[in-house]
Structure 1
Amino acid sequence: MSSTEVVRQASLKELPLDSWMGHLPSALWEVPLWNLAIPGSHNAITYCLDKSDRSPVDLTQPDLLQKLDKYMKPLIRPFFHKWGVTQELTVKEQLDSGVRYLDLRIAHRPNDTTTDLYFYHGVYTTLTVETVLQEIRAWLDAHPREVVLLSFSHFLGLNQDLHTELISTIRTVFSSKLCPVTKVVTLRSLWSLGYQVIVSYEHHVVHLHSDLWPHIPYWWANKCKVDDLVEVFENKKKHGRPGGFFVTGINLTEDLKYICSHPTESLKDMVMSSNPALLSWVRGQVPGSQMGSVNIVAGDFISESHFVPTVIALNEHLLTWSM
């Protein structure tokens, strides 16, 4: 390895975040994407949750909250908002900040007679799915060497016709930028073919479409304390990692018991207080194909506490091994 490459290896955390993939050392261009460390955004489109929406809360919420929302909506909706927002940056700002995996939860609003689809987390967003996808496409046009992974999952209220409509929209928006399912994807191979988007789709229809990838496994600890989350992940690592893409979600879970015992807090307060310990654990991880390695690391409020540069810097391990 040349002295120039050694300097670049030591400063991956200082790469320009809006174009970090295009600025990676050439030694990493041949590494399969599922062996790189990639920053991700958990429940990415919650910055535009609709405070004034009169629709019922989504049916994934506990029965008690659904009942309270039905009869006490003006009091309950602020509560849903402060615990439902997981990202404050717009999708463009997240991409500018270095995020390359977006966790997209898709819903059709109850009693909506249109085919419009939205994102949701407790309540629904003001922005439609198509609007956000168009924003991603515009960003990609301006960043031709960056690659994003879009995970469509947690579908709520979609029938077969709406799935067909959504897949058609994905194809129309991204067109030739969509990467079909293939055995190995590297930055070099994607750049050579003009592919910038990998779409995973958590539904059985995925097997009928060669341009949609299977659902990307998401390791979720379902814990509200850092020590408990770390314990879950360390136990998972002992059994090895999935062979392809997978996500380690360092997002903590606020259960109803936790929320009731912290009435003046918000999800952001919870994240900010736990981020130093979470990022300390992340710094100790390595990417790659070996036992216990990481691939995509997703979190809440991704602009805080140097989350993105910390994940990108993990790729220095791959450069060390290639020396």
Structure 2
Amino acid sequence: MSLQDWMSALPEELWDLPLTDLAIPGSHDAMSYCLDINSPLVRSESDCFRLLDKLFHCFTRPVIFRWTTTQDKSIEEQLSMGIRFFDFRIASKPDDPSNELYFTHIIYTYLTVLETLWSVATWLESHPKEIVILACSHFEGMDDRCHESLISSLKKLFGSKLCPRGESALSLRSLWASGYQVILSYDSKTAEGHRELWPDIPYWWANQHTAKGVITYLDWNRAMGRPEGFFVSGLNLTADRYYITTNPGQSLRTLTFSNWNCLKKWVEQQVPGSDPKSLNIIAGDFVGPLPLCSLVISLNQKLLKRNGSQTKKI
């Protein structure tokens, strides 16, 4: 089924619920599908790892690429598949005369930030009732001047589509009435002076390489109670360098796929809503080949009033 316009296809009973009560599919490290294998390492990598990469570049780069690639579909394809939360990690390249900004995950992408977000804005023009949540973070190598330049460009790009921080009515119906389509989270103090920007969105990251480890961590967080506002439950698996070294035939893709059935069963048991143990945004890796979007969106059926009224199927 097409999920390009799944928000407007939700039953009308759900149009007045806050977005924070809906189940929303998300993309972890959304731009890693276009990593540049020949780019420099990000600034935060250790000197030891830099030296290793310099001496054994032909060996390290394929390994880095296998374990940093979390997505294989373009931003437009992810949008059309139903993804509505995007994890964007932004940075400037060292010694780059162009002053362009890129996305990162150990290495840099070949697509720039502004050309990518222009694609998002263009897609939204064709889907006026779809709402996206863009979480911008990391910002390696960016000073205040660079932040202000980026923020100015983002405000110009999305314009009246940007939902102001603290907007009290965050239901689909109210956002449609106001013409808002973008909730832009910007994890930097620079954002405090711009009412169009929202603070960082909590992301529950397990830092585990097994589905069991991820689920144990997420269940522990659920037991502690949900945060205020938007929050993300990350299904993404993480392998440390010891695991990568001792499993040379694996990649993040093979690890994700081998653990998917267990993660899928856990997601099917979840319930969105305002309850302290309910979930909101559920993000994962390889959201194209794995049916994360349909799985998460279908959870919203659990929110429908049990009054026997006929509802549309999502």
1:29 to 7, 10, 15: 15
Query: Aligned partners of 1:120 and 1:113: how far apart in 2?
Result: 18
Task: Give the AA of the match of 2:225.
Answer: G
TM-score (norm 2): 0.95
SS state at 2:197 partner: coil
1:86 to 70, 76, 84: 70
TM-score (norm 1): 0.92
Alpha-carbon distance, 1:59 to partner: 3.3
SS state at 1:272 partner: helix
Query: Aligned partners of 2:71 and 2:306: how far apart in 1?
Result: 35
> What is the match of residue 6 of structure 1?
none
Alpha-carbon distance, 1:303 to partner: 1.5
1:238 to 205, 215, 223: 223
Q: 1:272 to 1:60 in 2, by over 3 A?
A: farther
SS state at 2:26 partner: strand
- Cα displacement string for residues 127-173 of structure 1 (whole angstroms, at most 9, x for unaligned residues): 00000001001100111110100000111111111101110111111
User: Could you tell me whether the CA contact under 8 Å between 1:119 and 1:125 is conserved in 2?
Assistant: yes
Count of aligned residue pairs for this structure pair? 307
Query: Aligned partners of 1:300 and 1:65: how far apart in 2?
Result: 25
1:221 to 203, 206, 219: 206
Task: Give the AA of the match of 2:187.
Answer: E
The answer to whether structure 1 residue 289 and structure 2 residue 274 are counterparts is yes
Deviates more, 1:113-122 or 1:89-98: 113-122
- CA-based RMSD of the aligned residues comes to 1.3
Q: Which runs of 4+ in 1 moved over 2 A?
A: 59-67, 320-323
The answer to whether structure 1 residue 105 and structure 2 residue 98 are counterparts is no
Task: Give the AA of the match of 2:147.
Answer: H
Query: Aligned partners of 1:94 and 1:310: how far apart in 2?
Result: 15
- Structure 1 segment 295-306 matched on structure 2, within 5 A: 295-306=280-291
Runs of at least 5 residues in structure 1 that lack an aligned partner in the other structure? 1-13
User: Could you tell me whether the CA contact under 8 Å between 2:271 and 2:278 is conserved in 1?
Assistant: yes
User: Could you tell me whether the CA contact under 8 Å between 1:27 and 1:322 is conserved in 2?
Assistant: no
Alpha-carbon distance, 1:304 to partner: 2.6
User: Could you tell me whether the CA contact under 8 Å between 2:267 and 2:295 is conserved in 1?
Assistant: yes
> What is the match of residue 262 of structure 1?
247
Query: Aligned partners of 2:97 and 2:52: how far apart in 1?
Result: 26
> What is the match of residue 312 of structure 2?
none
> What is the match of residue 60 of structure 2?
76
> What is the match of residue 159 of structure 1?
143
1:149 to 108, 115, 133: 133
The answer to whether structure 1 residue 179 and structure 2 residue 163 are counterparts is yes
